A and B are shown apart, each in its own frame.
Chain A
C-alpha cells in the first residue's frame, strides 16, 4: 500500500480537519460532508485520517469487523476466533459501484460450484466501525444514495434479495465530498451528514507555497516524510483517544441544551437533528480540548459546521450559509 499523506501535515483547512477529528472522537456525530474546489485536499484528508486513527480490535477474518465473537453475524463462517488489531477501515465507495457491491450479494462462485447459498458481503460490511468515503457524492446515482441513507441511519444493513435474508451491523461514518457547481445534493441527504464544511483553495501565497513544498517533499520521499510527521500524528491520536474516553463523562448543563435549542429555533432548521448534532459535536470538541464542561465557546466554534447545511435554502440571501449561522450565533449568544 502506498503511504498516505500525514493528516497533521495538511496546511490550513482547519475547519475540515477539525470536523474530521471530531467525528473520530465521537463517531455518533454522523459524518462529514466536504464541499469545495478541486485540489483542496479533500481526498488527502480522508486518507490521512485512516492512517491516523487508532487501530480497532476485531475478530480475525470477520467480514464486518466485529469487536466480539458474539457479534459475528451467523452467516459468516469465521474459522478463527482470535482478536486482532487492525487499522480503522476507510472504504471508498466508487461512483460506479453497483448495488451488489455496496450491500453485498449472493456469492455466485460458491453457488455455481457447490450449489450453496452464501452471502458475499459488500462495501457496507467492510466499512462497519470505520469510515465510508464517497468522492463526488453529488454525482452518485439516486438509488445508491437512498440505500446509503437508510443504512447510515439504521446502522444495520438488511439484504433481502436472491433468496437471501441477511442482516449485519453497518455503523460507519459517512464522509462525502463534492463540488456544488456540478449538481447539488438532496436536502434529505444533506441532513443525514452530521457536519458540513466548505473548503476553498488558500489565497495566501505563503500558505500555497507551503502546501506545494510539503506535497512535493512527500512525493519525492513518502517514507521519510511520513516519519517526519509521525510524532505530530501520534500526538493527535493521543488527544483523540483521550477525548473518546472523556466524551461520555462530560457534564452538559441545561444552559447548553437551551442554547442549542435557541440557536436552532432562530435559524429555523428542520427537525431536531440539528440540536442533537450541535450538542454531540460541542461535547466532542470539549472532550477533545480537555475542557471541564461544554461551554458556549464550544458551541460557537462548531455551530457553522453542524448547522450550515440544515438551513432552508434561501436563494435571496447572497451570504453563504455559514455566515448566516455565525451571524445568528452572535445574535442568540448576546
Chain B
C-alpha cells in the first residue's frame, strides 16, 4: 500500500477527533499497535481529549469482582456489614483494555454485555496481537466503532496529536443539531453490503461517525466528506470483500492510484466546504477501496482460519475452567497442606455464630472465627480428550477411499461432539501437512473444514505425524489428553524435507511414529487402502498404537472400533 505513515497518522488523528466528539455513540476504538512511542502518543492524545475524566484501565484476566463489583472484605470485616465495591464496568466513561488479544471468550462476552448495557461505557481496546489469528474476539470488535491500525507508522511520521479542546467542546454542543440527508442511511447500508460487512452495527456506527465528523467541521448537516470519513474509518477496515467481485483483480491494482484521493479527505476538516449533492455511491466505494489493505485477498483466505483460531480459544476458556477443575462446594478443612481457603465460605460458616461468640467472649468488636469455620476450596479435575485426526489427502488416498474416510471421521466427530471431546484436524498431501482445525468443540467448524478438504499430491506421512505431535503437545499443555488417529493408505513417499524420496520418507515416518510413542499419546492407525498395507502395521507398532484396516463394512462399526482403541 502506497499510503504513507504520515497519512495514516493523520487519519488516526481524525478518527480520534471524531471519537472524542461522541465517545458513547461510537462504542470505542479497536487499536492494533504494539507498545511503543506511536501508541503512547495516540493514548496521550486520547487522555488529553477526555478533559473531564481519566480513563480507567482493565486487565484481560480481571476477575468479576473487579469488573462488576464485589464484597470489600476488609471493609466488611471492620464494619460488620457488607460493603460492596463498585466494579469498573459499573461506572460510565472510557476504559482501556491493554493486551486485548489475550482476552478470553468469557471476558469478551462480559465486556460486550457491559457495552450493550445501560451505562455509557466506552472501550478502547489495545490489541498487541502479532498475526491475523491473534486478535480481540469478534463479538467485541463488532461493537467498537473505530478500527485503527498503527502498526508500521514511524515515530517521525507521528508528531504529537493536536487536540483542540474548545473545538471539541463546540462540536459536542453542535452534535445534537446535526441532521442526516435523506439518502445517507441508504448509501452507507449499500456501501457496507458491497464491502461484505454483514453486521448491522457497522453502518449504524458509521452513521454516528459521520455525524461527529459533521459536528467537528461546524456543519449541521452530514455532507459528502463526512460520509466518506465514516466509510474510511468504520466500514473499510471491516471489509471482507472487494466492492465488486468481478473487478477483483483490477481493484487489487487500483489502490495505489486512488490513494491520493484520501489526502483531500483529510482536509475536509479544515475546509468545511460542502457540495450540495451527496456523492453517488461510487465515490464512497472509491474512498473505501483506497483504504482497503493491499493484502485483503490474502487475509480473506486467512479469515476463516483466523475465525477458527479465535473460536478455538473461545472454547479454550472453558477448557481452562475444566483444567482448573469444576468447582465443588467448599468443605470444612484445615489451613495449610496447600489447600486454598475459601474466604467467603469461611465467613459464611462463621457468620451465624458471631452473636453467640461475641456474647460468650465479651469481645464485641471483632470477628470470631474458629478453626471449625475454615472452608477450603476444592476442584474436580476432569481432563478432556483431544482427538487429533491426521488425514491422508494425497492423490492415492483420494483416488481410493477418501469419501469413506471422510464418512468415518464424520461419525467419529459426531460422537466426539456428544462426549464433548475436542477435535482437531491435520491433513497432509503434496509436500507437507497443515492444521485444518486447531482443537475445537465446534461441530459446525469441523464439518465445514472437512467437506472443503481436497485431495491430490504425494503422501508426506512424516510431516503429518510431526504436526499432529506438535498439536498434541499444545493440547497437553492446556490440560487435555491428546489422542492421535491416523487415516492413511500408508505409502509414504515424501520425506520431512519435502522431497519425493520413498526411502527417506519411510524412515522419517518411522522416526515420527517413535517420537509419538515416546510422548505416550494414545493413538490409532487406520488403513484406508484398498488392501491392508504391511508397512502400516509396522508403523502402528512403532507408534505403540493399534492398527485397524478400514473394514469394508459400514463406517459405524469402524467408529466403535476406534472408540475401544482410543479409550485404552
Contact = CB atoms under 8 A, between A and B. Distances in A.
Interface of A: 1-2, 37-41, 43, 92, 94-96, 98, 105-106, 108-109, 111-117, 135-136, 139, 141-143, 161-163, 179-184, 186-187, 201-202, 205, 208-209, 211-213, 215-216, 219, 313-316, 318
B351 interface: yes
Contacts of B486: none
Contact of A37 (B25, B68, B199): B199
Contacts of A313: 414, 417-418, 443
Contact of B188 (A109, A112, A212): A212
Given A139-B318, A184-B441, A205-B193, A212 B200 contact: yes
B413 interface: yes
Contact of A39 (B142, B185, B411): B142
Contacts of A212: 185, 188-189, 200, 203-204, 207
A141 to B, nearest CB: 6
B109 A95 contact: yes
Contacts of B82: 108-109, 112
16 contacts: A38-B142, A39-B198, A41-B200, A92-B113, A106-B351, A112-B354, A116-B352, A136-B139, A139-B106, A142-B326, A181-B442, A181-B444, A205-B190, A208-B193, A209-B185, A313-B414
Nearest to A95: B109
Given A38-B199, A136-B109, 16 more contacts: A38-B201, A106-B348, A108-B82, A111-B348, A111-B352, A112-B80, A142-B322, A163-B352, A180-B444, A182-B311, A184-B417, A211-B200, A212-B185, A212-B203, A215-B204, A315-B417
B560 interface: no
Nearest to A315: B410
Interface in B152-209: 180, 185-186, 188-190, 192-193, 198-204, 207
Given A40-B200, A109-B81, A139-B314, A316 B410 contact: yes
Contacts of A2: 118
B315 interface: yes
Contacts of A186: 420
Given A212-B188, A313-B414, A183 B198 contact: no
Given A139-B314, A183-B311, A184-B443, A112 B81 contact: yes
A235 B410 CA distance: 49
Contacts of A113: 80-81
Interface in B293-349: 307, 311, 314-315, 317-318, 321-322, 326-327, 329, 344-345, 347-349
B352 A135 contact: no
Contacts of A183: 105, 311, 314-315, 318, 441-442
A187 B109 contact: no
Contacts of B356: 115
Contacts of A109: 81-82
Given A181-B444, A182-B311, A208-B193, A315 B81 contact: no
A179 B113 CA distance: 15
Contacts of A117: 352
Contacts of A213: 185
Contact of B327 (A143, A202, A219, A318): A143
Interface in B447-489: 447, 451
A163 B410 CA distance: 49
Contacts of A115: 351-356
Contacts of B315: 182-183
Interface of B: 25, 64, 67-68, 71, 76, 80-82, 105-106, 109-110, 113, 116, 118, 138-139, 142, 180, 185-186, 188-190, 192-193, 198-204, 207, 307, 311, 314-315, 317-318, 321-322, 326-327, 329, 344-345, 347-349, 351-356, 367, 407, 410-411, 413-414, 417-418, 420, 441-447, 451
A306 B327 CA distance: 34
Given A39-B199, A96-B68, A212-B207, A112 B193 contact: no
A181 B348 CA distance: 40
Given A111-B352, A313-B417, A316-B407, A209 B443 contact: no
Given A95-B113, A112-B81, A318-B451, A162 B200 contact: no
- The residue in B109, B110, B344, B441 that gathers the most chain A C-beta atoms within 10 A of its C-beta is B109
10 nearest CB pairs, A to B: A115-B355, A111-B351, A39-B199, A109-B82, A315-B410, A96-B64, A39-B201, A183-B315, A209-B189, A182-B314
A186 B318 CA distance: 13
A213 B204 CA distance: 9
A115 B445 CA distance: 54
A128 to B, nearest CB: 23
B414 A95 contact: no
B468 to A, nearest CB: 21
A236 to B, nearest CB: 23
Nearest to A180: B444
Interface-central residue, A108, A183, A212, by most chain B CB under 10 Å: A183
Contacts of B116: 43
A115 B368 CA distance: 12
A162 B189 CA distance: 56
A92 B110 CA distance: 12
Contacts of A182: 105, 311, 314-315, 442
A213 B118 CA distance: 22
Contacts of B355: 114-115
B349 A162 contact: yes
Given A112-B82, A183-B314, A208 B189 contact: yes
Nearest to B406: A316
Contact of B109 (A139, A163, A314): A139
B295 to A, nearest CB: 24
Contacts of B318: 139, 141-142, 183
B198 A37 contact: yes
A139 B313 CA distance: 12
Contacts of A314: 414
